[in-house]
Chains A and B, each alone.
Chain A
Amino acid sequence: MRVTGPEWGLCSIAWLLAVAVGLSAQTQEAKPSATLRGRVEMPRSPVSIERRPGVSDLGTAPPRDAPDRRRAVVYLESAPRGAFEARDLQRARMDQRNETFLPYVLAVSVGTVVDFPNNDRTYHNVFSLSKAKRFDLGRYAQGRSQSVRFDTPGIVRVFCDIHSHMSAFILVFSHPYFATTESDGRYRIDNMPPGTYNVIAWYDGADRDMRTVTIPRTGAVELDFVVQ
């Protein structure tokens, strides 16, 4: 049987449609829908960060806010293939307000641009000497902002060159499977791909708790941590 030109064309279209529908169904099936959630138990009252003794000052320093240090970050130690695909440019923000960085802990993906607006009436000078990102934004006044793009995964310790009691953390991840806890320690990471992973709870620079967990195709897995 001979297949004429128009028939050949119709067959091709039908075949392409079938492949497309099949692939779509396969993709929907593969899209992860599991959730990892739980709670990180942190110290009830972390030691506050104080100014250095202002012995040479002529008076009392103005009041400042205390940073909310009751935040942990939960993340996968290593992520499955496909988690490292290029994503849209993301922006995040770390304020400088009442001589405090807000938030104290910021978790972002690689490639994120973080804005550092100054909301105080005094100068600030945001800088970091961390291996993951060295930068120095210089001094800028209230209402102005400077930005830094974080291209390397790692932990970036942020300071102010003028106010030694100001510090914060930026955690940069090469995958999207991380979450910052609420003040009560609760966290939630959605769209987890199935598999067995090491999950780490990071707290305030030095404290970590690592657990191993198996994530199913669907549903929620509870995983709690304790950091001191």
Chain B
Amino acid sequence: MRNIRTAFLVLVLCNLTSGATAQVLPSEPIIIGDGRAVIGGDVAASIAPIDTGYFNFSDYDHTTLREIRLGLTASVRATDHIAILGELRSENFERVTPFALYARIHPWRERRLDVQIGRIPPTFGAFTRNAYGHDNPLIGYPLAYQYLTSVRPDSAPANVDELLRMRGRGWRSSFGIGNRTPDRGLPLVTAFSWDTGIQVTTGWRAVDVTAAVTNGSASNPRVRDDNDGKQFATRVKVIPATGLVIGTSFARGQYANRQLIDAEPGTADRFVQHAYGIDLEYSRNHWIGRADAVLSQWDVPAVASPLLDVPLRALALRVEGRYTIFPGAYAAARAEHLAFNHVRGTSRVDEWEAPVSRLEVGGGYYLQRNVVARVSVQMNWRDGGRVRRLALPAAQLLFWF
């Protein structure tokens, strides 16, 4: 059924855009009340073969390569200093979720200071705020922001052997403590939901500094605080020269939910995630290059032997580039690797999760200024799990206004 819906949407969009440069579809946002309210939107329809290795799943039911995503964004200028911003998203015509809803306060017109309160954009990293729409040059998401590890917010391994049994099964892991029902694990930093709290951004010349206090963690953002712990996140962005952006990020927060904390009383402040990130973007002429490194560390209390006596660390490295071949057409490539630290079990010492490498190569053609047809081929390698190698061709049609 999902495939039929996708094919239908692709056909509709293709038909609407068959005039190539005719600008059949609207390209400007909807403006109400002399610019007081502005509404924008995105539609992305992606098709690909079945991902039997669950390399691209954002949860057990959804893969980022086979979905229709609808997004509606809006900003309402309440006063000269206060704006309300929000975004609604829906995947595969299922339920509509409020992805973002917050107030942006800009106290002084001449000063670079903003306070955002509500369900706010992620402070950590650069990709999390660019994930949707045309900022992503390829169809797939970077591993650091999408690939599901076996770490769960509601369940924890009692010992190392239990942890090692879940290698390569982050899309449906289960452990002995807390919720024993198999369910999805956590990515290093999620691009699929935003956290709730307060965020302050200021800047001076080429430097921007952001700090936030929120309810969840980088891998598990929350609308409501269910673990009595707050996340602190900060980001410093420097633009030393036009076209060069260097960013560093840090986040520390409790990732376990109430169910897991209740299962192991007194451990609330021991299920902590630390995340460190550095990102780089350089663009010039027809080139854009990006690179980032994300190090995540989940602390898991040791319960039974063989004891889990080290934090679970994961390091994601990414480099990607985009080149405009001729007006309206570009090529892009992304290479990534996800590595994990070793833990000592009863019979073996191994990485606690199966390392993953991914290479995605593709390109896009603009049917009109705001309609892009993309194709890509993604190669995945994993040192563990049921499927260890998988090549996935994919196609996507993306429209925004």
- Chain B residues in 8 Å Cβ range of A50: 28-29, 31, 35, 38
A53 contacts B129, C-beta separation under 8 Å: no
* CA gap between A123 and B87 in the complex, in Å: 27
Chain B CB within 10 Å — which of A53, A57, A134, A141 has the most? A53
- A91 contacts B by Cβ under 8 Å: no
Query: Scoring B residues 56 to 80 as 1 if CB is less than 8 Å from chain A, else 0, what string do you get?
Result: 0000000000000000011100000
- B324 contacts A by Cβ under 8 Å: yes
Chain A CB within 10 Å — which of B38, B100, B132 has the most? B38
Of A53, A134, A140, which one neighbours B74 at CB under 8 angstroms? A53
* CA gap between A55 and B132 in the complex, in Å: 11
- Chain B residues in 8 Å Cβ range of A60: 83, 104, 106, 114
- B226 contacts A by Cβ under 8 Å: no
A135 contacts B327, C-beta separation under 8 Å: yes
- B384 contacts A by Cβ under 8 Å: no
| Distance of B251 from chain A, by nearest CB (Å) | 14
B75 contacts A129, C-beta separation under 8 Å: no
- A142 contacts B by Cβ under 8 Å: yes
Residue of A nearest to B123 (CB): A58
Query: Scoring A residues 174 to 199 as 1 if CB is less than 8 Å from chain B, else 0, what string do you get?
Result: 00000000000000000000000000
- B40 contacts A by Cβ under 8 Å: yes
A129 contacts B129, C-beta separation under 8 Å: no
Q: A53-B39, A58-B199, A140-B285 are in contact. Are A121 and B242 (CB under 8 A)?
A: yes
- B172 contacts A by Cβ under 8 Å: no
Of residues 48 through 63 on chain A, the ones whose CB sits less than 8 Å from some CB of chain B are: 48-60
B286 contacts A48, C-beta separation under 8 Å: no
For the residues of A in contact with B, the DSSP-based class is loop
- A157 contacts B by Cβ under 8 Å: yes
- B398 contacts A by Cβ under 8 Å: no
* CA gap between A122 and B331 in the complex, in Å: 24
- Chain B residues in 8 Å Cβ range of A52: 29, 38, 40, 73, 400-401
* CA gap between A111 and B303 in the complex, in Å: 78
- B284 contacts A by Cβ under 8 Å: yes
B283 contacts A54, C-beta separation under 8 Å: no
| Distance of B400 from chain A, by nearest CB (Å) | 8
- Chain B residues in 8 Å Cβ range of A139: 243, 283-286, 288
* CA gap between A140 and B116 in the complex, in Å: 32
B73 contacts A55, C-beta separation under 8 Å: yes
- Chain A residues in 8 Å Cβ range of B370: 164
- Chain B residues in 8 Å Cβ range of A131: 20-21
- A68 contacts B by Cβ under 8 Å: no
- A101 contacts B by Cβ under 8 Å: no
- Chain A residues in 8 Å Cβ range of B83: 60
Query: Scoring B residues 105 to 130 as 1 if CB is less than 8 Å from chain A, else 0, what string do you get?
Result: 01000001110100001010000011
Chain B CB within 10 Å — which of A56, A127, A139, A157 has the most? A56
A55 contacts B100, C-beta separation under 8 Å: yes
Cβ contacts A to B, 14 pairs, < 8 Å: A45-B34, A50-B28, A52-B38, A53-B87, A55-B100, A58-B116, A58-B121, A58-B123, A59-B208, A60-B114, A129-B20, A129-B328, A129-B368, A134-B327
